Structure 1
Amino acid sequence: MKKLFSYLIIAFVITTACKKEKTANTITADTSLSTDSITEIAKEAWIYGYPMFYNYKTIYANAVNKDAKEFVGGFNKFKSIAVSATPADTLVVTINNDTPYSMAAINVSDEPVILEVPKIEQDRYYVMQLVDLYTFNFEYVGSRATGNQPGKYLIAGPDWKGKAPNGITKVLKSETSLIFVVGRTQLHNPKDAVNLKRIQAQYKLIPLHEYENQAAPAEKKYNLALPVWNEADYSSPKFINVLNSLLQYTTEDSSEKTLRARFAKIGVQPGVNYDSSKYPPETIKAIEKGIAEGKKELESKIDNLKDSGSLFGTRASLKNNYLNRAIAAAAGLYGNTKEEAVYTGSSTDKDNQPLMGSNKYILRFSKDELPEAKYFWSITMYNLPKRFLVSNPISRYSIGNKTDGVKYEPNGDLVFYLQGDSPGKSKESNWLPTPKSGRFMFVMRIYGPQPDVINNVWKMPSAEKVK
């Protein structure tokens, strides 16, 4: 985990020189805080902001950075992939391999956007997960939430008070103006890619003025421009301006009034420039200590993560647990709410030893241990500490109950072989390749989980080391 977080260290710059004051939208210093207070607030702010930083990394690549391979031409445009993910896809950690993505960064600062989806055949699962800048899953469109019928959904920001036009299925309100949509559409098998492309081409994002054949509205102006993504900035005082820029696209929830006021004491204020040259060395050291403490706590929680089911959801369901929100972003950004999909997995075996590519394992589900899923379930392999897919000679990155050719035992059990080399031709149908060396982990995704799965009554079996 140390390598995973070595590039995630983010420095907050704070105040301690003289009485705090604003001039020309620039924050100056504040000596009323002790270094211990600065450290504690910095730790809180680092954990609070962590999910936003890495959500914005994806938004930036998708809609802002013209040189990124993920760039689609700006906001409010889908980028769809009609094949399963491969080890070359490294923008998002623990990427999903079952349901190819249709992703879009949406900006509703000026006006709402209409999400249009087509009718989809009943045996194909799909979902549109709407994630606000905080990374709350604030709404869903798809097989579970709205069915497979066609629909037009108006996505609006926190300041919109208009009336939905005729033909709108539902209004979806976000508390932030920057939104990321994670669309997933089931791919039955490689030959199904043609059908998948046809469906993905019908996912549309239409600005409200275009939908109504009206003139475009005036563009909202912000004090700070959207930041350029630069990993090095997050280890320096430059970071505070990035956070202050992103906070311009949020609203202050009533439950966070006290928290935001506390953050403001160290210079975290939406749209206000932050000049790090105003602060003495002891302030910077206090901030760095707070970041280190936040990083240590987050790292320890991820190392011991067993169940991620409660880490993803709405603000109300997460109850403003900012540490859990940060854990979710670090362990698997854009995870679904548990009613949509449940995630479980492991990086250790039955004896609580790390899973190693130099070993061979079996993962056995008795016929009574198979999870109940309305749609399907799968297990995906990842290397550690990077959490990327694992290259292998058969190009298989996940396996599950819908995988072509999977064989059950005569008694109904299902056995998967987790190892770097082939278990033999007769068993390759049930082989999920691991790295040939180093640590690894696997994640099980259950789509349309039933009550026993949602409520943690069902438990996934542990991998067993074999000779």
Structure 2
Amino acid sequence: MKVMILATLAAIAFAAPVRAQPAPISDQDISNAYIYLLGRLMVTRQQQLDFQEGFKWNELRHRKPGAVDWPNPNLDVAYSEAWVAVDEESCTIVTVPKVEGRYYTVQVLNGWGETLANINERVFPNRPSGEFALCLRGAKATLPTEVVRIDLPVKHSRILSRVELGDDWDKAVALQHQFTLRATGNPALPDIPRTPIFELEQFPGVEAFDAAEAALDSEPDINPGLEAMQERTRAIARAAKEQPERGRIDQVIREQAFAEIAKAGTRIGHGTVQNGWARPGVVGEYGIDYLTRTLVNYRGIWANVKPEVLYYRGGNDSTGAELNGDNVYTLTFPKDELPSRFANYFWSVIAVDSTRFRVLPNPRNRYLLNRETKPEYNADGSLTLYFADQKPSDAPDGNWLPTPKGTVYRLTFRYYGPTEGVANGTYYPPALRRMN
């Protein structure tokens, strides 16, 4: 009998092998997964706010110049926005007017803030205007022969069109309103993921993982190499449903993940810093660099790809001290390194606060310096820009950006159509020098 029992137990052991236990969840796993997920939650947050405002699928909303409430807005352009839905039978037609003598683009992004396409003269030099069809890859939609088809890997996307304002805002706005959208059929419309709508200066804690399934199920991550991160995020979301793990996860987020985000923000993830200016290593298309993607979605959502625009962020002066509205700073470009040298289209610089990254209110209602502020050049051909609460006596009016007292702030320098050292990463703006 004993022999038979042993034989039976042995048979059971061979027939039903013990399942491997899931790997324990480390603090670093939690922090990494949180940072990864937060990038998606930044987009779903904005999507919910948009539809609460009245957005409808496949309809453009034309914004008045300056009337956008995003981190680091570009005030050089008139924006139009939309959320686009396509499916196996329906495409969305984008009508692009003929634009001459000014920059424009129609940027298409997915639900992680990854740029999927641009429609402009750089990408379509032989046919920069007309009708373009955004279609799901493999869709069997019938299109007119003159329409240019652009295949997308996702059914739902975000559109952002930009038209340079230049010195004729009325003309720019008239062109802006000639951009249109229309669906060729009746695409299935998705439910908007219900995820936390948080203030940008107050990230969610463990409740972020309560929304993980909704956030991840509603939008695939198209970057190969992040599958394991997505599965780890789902595993942590399951663990967060039970105590004591829920309490531990929340503590790790607040003590470790928040600190890692703040530390990485100095260099914009895996970017580089020189002369007090940070340059992102990747932007608009992130590959497996989810850290940079999350930081960019946080501080400059809807960032475009490098061939369109390159952003430098300045947060410190030549001594390494933070920029503060109590001080006066100058930024001088030598005559052979003027901003216009490095931009095919235009350049500009704005100042934003250090928490919500919005432009700084000031009595002059001046929020940027660019070609249209008509900066004056020095006798030797160099260009000096001034940042101060009150205009320095020796500063030409068009060279001065008001920065209110008591404000810790950051500068964002944009080069649209970057060239030479800006395009290849060998150039950085000069250091800011404190004058008082």
Q: TM-score range by the shorter chain?
A: 0.7 to 0.9
Cα distance in 1 between the residues matched to 2:128 and 2:396: 40
**Identical residues among aligned pairs (%):** 21
Q: After superposition, give the CA deviation of every residue in 1:398-429 in whole Å (9 maximum; x if it has no partner).
A: 112x2243211121111111100122486212
* Residue 231 (structure 2) aligned to one of 261, 279, 282: 261
Specify the SS of the correspondent of 2:32. Answer: helix
The 5 A counterparts of 1:268-307 are 279-290=242-253, 292-305=255-268, 306=273, 307=278
CA contact under 8 A between 1:309 and 1:338: conserved in structure 2? no
Aligned to 1:115: 94
With normalisation by structure 1, the TM-score equals 0.78
Could you tell me how far 1:286 is from its partner in structure 2? 3.2
CA contact under 8 A between 1:177 and 1:249: conserved in structure 2? no
- Note if 1:80 corresponds to 2:70: no
- Note if 1:376 corresponds to 2:339: no
* Residue 423 (structure 1) aligned to one of 389, 392, 408: 392
Cα distance in 2 between the residues matched to 1:243 and 1:177: 20
Could you tell me how far 1:75 is from its partner in structure 2? 1.7
Cα distance in 2 between the residues matched to 1:287 and 1:229: 15
Aligned to 2:7: none
- Note if 1:58 corresponds to 2:37: no
Cα distance in 1 between the residues matched to 2:329 and 2:221: 49
The 5 A counterparts of 1:172-211 are 172-189=150-167, 192-209=168-185
Could you tell me how far 1:98 is from its partner in structure 2? 0.9
CA contact under 8 A between 1:383 and 1:435: conserved in structure 2? no
Aligned to 2:29: 41
Instruction: Mark the CA change 1:144 to 1:406 in structure 2 (over 3 Å): closer, same or farther.
Output: same
Cα distance in 1 between the residues matched to 2:169 and 2:373: 15
Aligned to 1:462: 431
Cα distance in 1 between the residues matched to 2:250 and 2:325: 39
Could you tell me how far 1:360 is from its partner in structure 2? 0.7
Aligned to 1:226: 193
Aligned to 2:421: 452
Letter paired with 1:294: A
Which range moved further: 383-392 or 442-451?
383-392
Instruction: Mark the CA change 1:403 to 1:425 in structure 2 (over 3 Å): closer, same or farther.
Output: farther
Cα distance in 1 between the residues matched to 2:300 and 2:206: 27
Aligned to 1:397: 367
Could you tell me how far 1:151 is from its partner in structure 2? 2.5
More contact order relative to length (CA 8 Å, sep ≥ 6): 1
Coordinate RMSD, CA, aligned: 2.8
Letter paired with 1:46: Y
Unaligned runs of 5+ in 1: 1-30, 210-215, 269-273
Cα distance in 2 between the residues matched to 1:75 and 1:163: 18
Aligned to 2:215: 246
Could you tell me how far 1:178 is from its partner in structure 2? 2.8
Instruction: Mark the CA change 1:366 to 1:220 in structure 2 (over 3 Å): closer, same or farther.
Output: closer
With normalisation by structure 2, the TM-score equals 0.83
* Residue 283 (structure 2) aligned to one of 298, 312, 315: 312
Cα distance in 2 between the residues matched to 1:367 and 1:126: 28
Aligned to 1:340: 308
Could you tell me how far 1:33 is from its partner in structure 2? 4.9
Q: After superposition, give the CA deviation of every residue in 1:215-245 in whole Å (9 maximum; x if it has no partner).
A: x35x3677xx631653299736553353322
Instruction: Mark the CA change 1:310 to 1:208 in structure 2 (over 3 Å): closer, same or farther.
Output: farther
Letter paired with 2:110: D
Specify the SS of the correspondent of 1:133. Answer: coil
Aligned to 2:289: 321
CA contact under 8 A between 1:420 and 1:435: conserved in structure 2? yes
- Note if 1:410 corresponds to 2:374: no
* Residue 79 (structure 2) aligned to one of 101, 107, 127: 101
Structure showing greater radius of gyration is 2
Cα distance in 2 between the residues matched to 1:43 and 1:166: 49
Cα distance in 2 between the residues matched to 1:357 and 1:426: 17
Could you tell me how far 1:137 is from its partner in structure 2? 1.0
CA contact under 8 A between 2:267 and 2:279: conserved in structure 1? no
* Residue 151 (structure 1) aligned to one of 130, 140, 146: 130
Cα distance in 1 between the residues matched to 2:344 and 2:367: 22
Instruction: Mark the CA change 1:112 to 1:303 in structure 2 (over 3 Å): closer, same or farther.
Output: same
Cα distance in 2 between the residues matched to 1:245 and 1:426: 53
Could you tell me how far 1:155 is from its partner in structure 2? 1.7
Letter paired with 1:367: K
Cα distance in 1 between the residues matched to 2:31 and 2:385: 42
Cα distance in 2 between the residues matched to 1:226 and 1:261: 19
Counting matched residue pairs gives: 403
Specify the SS of the correspondent of 1:239. Answer: helix
Cα distance in 2 between the residues matched to 1:460 and 1:349: 12
Which range moved further: 110-119 or 339-348?
110-119
Letter paired with 1:437: G
Instruction: Mark the CA change 1:404 to 1:53 in structure 2 (over 3 Å): closer, same or farther.
Output: same
Which range moved further: 168-177 or 382-391?
168-177
Aligned to 2:299: 331
Aligned to 1:170: 148
Aligned to 1:387: 357
Specify the SS of the correspondent of 2:231. Answer: helix
Instruction: Mark the CA change 1:230 to 1:262 in structure 2 (over 3 Å): closer, same or farther.
Output: closer
Specify the SS of the correspondent of 1:342. Answer: strand
CA contact under 8 A between 1:308 and 1:328: conserved in structure 2? no
Q: After superposition, give the CA deviation of every residue in 1:106-136 in whole Å (9 maximum; x if it has no partner).
A: 2335733121111112x11111121111111
CA contact under 8 A between 1:407 and 1:430: conserved in structure 2? yes
Specify the SS of the correspondent of 2:173. Answer: helix
Letter paired with 2:349: I
Instruction: Mark the CA change 1:313 to 1:282 in structure 2 (over 3 Å): closer, same or farther.
Output: closer
Letter paired with 2:63: I
Aligned to 1:18: none
